[in-house]
Amino acid sequence: HQHGHGDSGGDAAEWKKVAELRAVAEAQDPAAKEEDDFVLGRFLRARDYNIGKASMMLLQYLAWKRVAKPHGSISGEEVRDEIAKKRVDMQGFDRLGRPMAYIYGARHFPSRRDLDGFKRYVAYVLDKICTRLPVGQEKFSAVIDLRGWGYANCDIRGYVAALDIMQSYYPERLGRVFLIHVPYMFMAAWKMVYPFIDDKTKKKFVFVADKDLDATLRDAIDESQLPEAYGGKLKL
């Protein structure tokens, strides 16, 4: 079942490029046949319609997928320990119909994480949110809540690994991220992570000051879809 079929690729020129990319990629890796045109369209857009670069990106994705998801997907059972840490809630939609994820930075402790297990969990979460995409929507949105975040939660390697998975293997999926309740100390970590974020993605991260929090969230998310913890009516 396919989720997140956008209409952004409605024009003939894009489909022509998609067909071109498909021919180039399938010649090098027959597994490209299993990916639909919408997937190829996202890889193209992520590389500004450069067939060579998009093909390289797609082939790297296919190689990663074989190793990361040998059974086609990652089961909840495989990441049970990570799920138990309750770092992510996935519920509700923003006003643009994008599914929301709420990520709690203070529930992550690098001293207790195995990097490979964490990467598997990141892919699991991204797959899970993509299955919630309504028809016509290719992107999701997120709120990263850093209330209570401190030195013990700081995980530059983990953050960079998560960003790399999202940017390399889930291109054009992220709509926007609000960072809220951001402690001053977090900015030192952000400075280290920032160079690893590609230019298109950088624009999608929005730091929200506490005084603007209520207005910003209500502007982006209808009250019925906003969790109670943030003043809305949605029970998580």
Helix (H) / strand (E) containing 145: strand 140-145
Statement to judge: residues 207 and 149 lie in one domain = yes
Q: How far apart are CA 200 and CA 48, in angstroms?
A: 11
**Which CATH number belongs to the domain containing residue 150 in this structure?**
3.40.525.10
The number of domains in the chain is 2
In a domain, 143, yes or no: yes
Q: Enter the pTM of the model.
A: 0.92
Pairwise CA distance, residues 13 & 80, whole Å: 44
Res 10: pLDDT: 60
Distance between CA atoms of residues 41 and 38, nearest Å: 5
pLDDT over 90 percentage in the chain = 90
Give the type of residue at 34.
Answer: E
Q: What is the CATH number of the domain that holds 49?
A: 1.10.8
pLDDT tens string 28-43: 999 999 999 999 999 9
Q: Are residues 25 and 115 in the same domain?
A: no
Note whether residue 123 is domain-resident. Answer: yes
* Number of Cβ atoms within 10 Å of the Cβ of 154: 18
Q: Which domain holds residue 25?
A: 8-68
Of 2 and 140, which is predicted with more confidence? 140
36 and 134 housed in the same domain: no
Strand partners, 90: 101
Q: Calculate the average pLDDT of the chain.
A: 93
* Confidence class for position 1, pLDDT limits 50, 70, 90: very low
For 107-138, how does the pLDDT look when each residue is reduced to its tens digit (9 = 90+)? 999 998 899 999 999 999 999 999 999 998 99
Rounded Cα distance between 191 and 211, Å, is 23
Whether residues 115 and 206 share a domain: the answer is yes
Q: What are phi and psi of 178, to 5 degrees?
A: -95, 125
| Domain termination residue (choose one: 41, 68, 95) | 68
Whether residue 207 is predicted with pLDDT greater than 80 in this model: the reply is: yes
Is 236 within a domain? no
Mean pLDDT of 188-193: 96
Distance CA 227, CA 222 (A): 10
At residue 12, the pLDDT reads 85
Shared domain check, 103 and 24? no
Query: Once rounded to an integer, what is the mean pLDDT over residues 41-50?
Result: 95
Question: What pLDDT is attached to residue 146?
Answer: 98
- β-pairing, 88-93 vs 99-104, is antiparallel
Check if the beta carbon of residue 179 is closer than 8 Å to that of residue 207.
yes
Of 127, 116, 131, 113, the C-alpha closest to 75 is 127
* Claim to verify: residue 89 and residue 123 sit in the same structural domain: yes
Q: Are 64 and 109 part of one and the same domain?
A: no
Within this chain, do residues 113 and 154 fall inside the same structural domain, yes or no? yes
End-of-domain residue from the set 68, 91, 107: 68
